[in-house]
Amino acid sequence: MDFTSNASKHCTINNEIKTLKALYPHDLQVYDVPPVGEISLIEFQELSLDRLKVLRLVEGISLRSDLKTLEARKESLRDSLKKDGLKYYANLIYGAGCKSSLEVDLQARRKDCISHFILRLAYCKDKDQAKWFINQEAELFKMRFTSLDKEGVEQFLAMHRLDCRHISQEEKEQIREDLQMSTVRVASIDTIDFYKVSFRKVIDLVRTRKVYVERGIAYVPRTDLISLCISYFRQKLTVGMEDAKECLSNASDDERVMGYISALPGTFSGMARVVWSTTNTPLEKLEELSRTSYPMCMRSLHEALRINHHLKNSGRIQYGLFIKGIGVSLDDALRFWREAFSQKIDSDKFEKQYAYSIRHIYGKEGKQTNYTPLGCNKIISSAIGPGEYHGCPYKHMDQSSLRQKLCAYGISDFDAKEIIELAKEGHYSLACTKYFQMLHKQSPEQPIFHPNGYFAESRKILTKDTDGMDDSSQTANIKSERIVGTPRRNEAVNLTPRTAERSFATPTRRTENVHTPKIRNVYKTKSINIEKLLNDDEIAELMGDG
Ligand code: SF4
């Protein structure tokens, strides 16, 4: 055994923990020091999207009239974060202060800091967007502040030199009556700590007569310290947004980063519109749409279904939710899957084995959740077993199968090479965007983070090009626009069964690369928990019941 290398590895990890601890000493940050260092484009995107989801959740929760207290809102946020796979945020909002030295907690602080600064850049340009960002961040800060224990609060006050001191028991005794009278909401002042601070820093508490003031000093119970800290945080953030504006104007000219940052504020609000369609897409259109407007992940599934007359459960969920999102009704979906399976599965068997899960997808069975289509993050992180076609081709296909497929779809060798390079480097959404550009001869307006977003971007372009050529009723995600009847390109790559068969016959998908020990379980033939698979949707919180 090589003890030397183990020891040095251990040493490196310890050093890393020390560095993280020095950089991020407290669970609660005011983000006064921008992060320094390198970060991959993928992590950059992931972290910013995670935070955007968190802020959207915070916004949604603060609008709910049934959640009356901050604690209730916090619990609801924690549950939603866990449901959305954002456990590190769920832990962060309950962070008590400086105690933890666990790497996972320190990494969470690091992500918290980086993601905040990315969003600051994205939201600083526009006044309204900046206001929205500050408000959500402040609400998040409030929730997190209430989780701090006594030590955590004092460390926070000391770190930020807030000139706010804990009063001793003797001092408390001297003004006991005044304190008790000024803090009527507190049953006994013996159970609560008081801090003294200049009254100017807690004007709102003074105005509402919530604190005792003597000679310009306000005596603030710990429960009300948030008032001081939140105005400090807001102040910092407001100045920080101005700094960010300046940074942005001197920022890198890397188009990928700048384009991404500018599109970020519209990402989920746009997605909320594109993921859900309230009108009907006729089944007859799917074949054509799969060639013109499906991203490669869905096109692959559609083709695999046509060729194999079957899809395994994960494929049915990924594709079933996608077509639900583009406006295929439940009745049509049942007909679609029944017909697609008909060569292998008779109607009776279909009713018994498959109809339930399709109705489930539409929220008509089980918990009756109105599930929304899976986003790229979820699809990219899924594991693929033998004979399965779901997932993201840029992540899960081996290079030669990907090349073969791109070529079959009419992408030139030169462009295919570029797409494969991007995929190889882990830039899946950029590879997908490049594919989009090749097929549409222009870029999507929004970056691709969601298959249904890809679809909506595609329809926007194709319907514009052939205005009036289509009578499809699928208009919900592209309001007042109509679907194109004659796609202008890609017809040449309309796969005949033979060609398609070839591209699917030997799909040496990169299952072996995907099988890290963590996801190896996928091969076990345990029953699949449909609730779990479906609930882990990245944007479910944005969707009302359709
Ligand atoms: S990047 Fe997203 S939309 Fe594109 S193929 Fe992959 S999962 Fe599908």
Question: Which string of DSSP letters, residue by residue, matches 464-531?
Answer: HHTTT-------TTSTT----SS-SSSGGG---HHHHHHHHHS--BTHHHH--GGGGGGGS-PPP-HH
CA angle 409, 412, 414 (to 5 degrees): 140
C-alpha 192/C-alpha 205 separation (Å) is: 17
Cβ(144)–Cβ(28) under 8 Å?
A: yes
For 23-71, how does the pLDDT look when each residue is reduced to its tens digit (9 = 90+)? 999 999 999 999 988 888 778 888 998 899 899 888 878 767 678 899 9
Tokens in use for 544?
Answer: 């009302």
Ligand 1, pocket-test mutation among 317, 374, 402, 432, most atoms within 8 A of CB: 432
* pLDDT of res. 495: 28
Residue of 300, 326, 379 best suited for mutating to test ligand 1, as the one with most atoms within 8 Å of CB? 379
Q: Which two tokens stand for residue 444?
A: 């999507």
DSSP label at 397?
A: B
Q: What amino acid is encoded at 444 in this protein?
A: P
User: How remote is the CA of residue 448 from the centroid of ligand 1, in Å?
Assistant: 8
351: how many CB neighbours lie within 10 A of its CB? 13
Q: 519 pLDDT exceeds 70?
A: no
Q: Which two tokens stand for residue 219?
A: 């005596």
The 3-state DSSP class for residue 283 equals helix
For residues 85 and 104, is the Cβ–Cβ distance under 8 A? no
If you measure from the C-alpha of residue 526 to the centroid of ligand 1, how many angstroms do you get, rounded to a whole number? 27
Is 247 known to sit in a ligand binding site?
A: no
Both tokens of residue 60? Answer: 């949604």
Going by their DSSP bridges, the two strands 194-198 and 165-166 should be labelled as: antiparallel
The dihedral formed by the CA atoms of 443, 446, 448 and 449, expressed in degrees to the nearest 10: 180
Q: Is the pLDDT of residue 525 over 70?
A: no
82 contacts 57 by C-beta, under 8 angstroms? no
**According to the model, what pLDDT value does residue 310 have?**
96
What is the rounded average pLDDT of the residues 75-90?
88
- Res 491: pLDDT: 30
- Which residue type, as a one-letter code, is found at position 101? S
> Using CA positions, which residue lies closest to atom 3 of ligand 1?
451
- Mean model confidence pLDDT for the chain: 79
Higher pLDDT: 198 or 538? It is 198
Q: Calculate the alpha carbon distances from 492 to 11, 287, 436 in Å.
A: 58, 15, 16
State whether the beta carbon of 296 lies less than 6 angstroms from ligand 1. yes
Lowest mean pLDDT among 205-219, 313-327, 357-371, 397-411: 357-371
46 CA to middle of ligand 1, Å? 14
Q: Is the pLDDT of residue 226 over 60?
A: yes
Whole-number CA gyration radius for the chain:
27
Paired residues of 198 in beta bridges: 217
- Indicate if the pLDDT at residue 257 is higher than 90: no
Q: How far is CA 305 from the centre of its chain?
A: 29
| pLDDT at position 532 | 38
- What's the pLDDT score for residue 75? 94
Q: How far is the CA of 455 from the centre of ligand 1 (A)?
A: 11
User: Among 429, 439, 537, which is best to mutate for testing ligand 1, by the most ligand atoms less than 8 A from CB?
Assistant: 429
Atom 5 of ligand 1: nearest residue by CA position: 297
Burial label, 382 (beta-carbon count in 10 A; 0-12, 13-18, 19+):
buried
To the question of pTM greater than 0.85 for the whole model, the response is no
- At residue 314's C-alpha, the angle toward residues 312 and 320, to 5°, is 95
Tokens representing 2 are 């090589």
Position 535 scores a pLDDT of 38
Place of tokens 């005044």: 178
Q: Which of 269, 385, 279 is nearest to 326 (CA)?
A: 279
Pairing of β 212-214 and β 165-166:
unpaired
What is the Cα 344 distance to its own chain's centre? 38
Asked whether residue 297 is marked as a ligand-binding residue, the answer is yes
pLDDT single digits (tens) 132-189: 899 999 999 999 999 999 899 999 999 999 989 899 999 988 998 888 888 777 777 8
pLDDT at 473: 32
End-to-end CA distance of the chain: 59
Report CA-CA distances (Å) from 109 to 27, 78, 139, 241: 6, 16, 18, 20
pLDDT at 65: 67
Distance 465 CA to ligand 1 centre (A): 24
- Does ligand 1 come within 6 angstroms of the Cβ of 156? no
Does residue 97 surpass a pLDDT of 80? yes
Please tell me the residue having the least CA distance from ligand 1 atom 8.
297
Q: What is the 3-state secondary structure (H, E, C) of 317-339?
A: HHHHHHHHHCCCCHHHHHHHHHH
Give Cα 515 distance to the centre of its chain. Answer: 23
Ligand 1 atom nearest the C-alpha of 298 is 8
On whether 376 is known to bind a ligand per the annotation, the reply is yes
Amino acid at 305: L
325 lines ligand 1 (CB under 6 A): no
Residue identified by tokens 């009556």 is 177
Of 300, 409, 454, best ligand 1 pocket probe by most atoms within 8 Å of the beta carbon: 454
SS3 219: strand
Q: How far is the CA of 512 from the centre of ligand 1 (A)?
A: 20
The answer to the question of whether 392 is labelled as a binding residue is: yes
What angle separates helix 313-325 from helix 451-465, to the nearest 10 degrees? 40
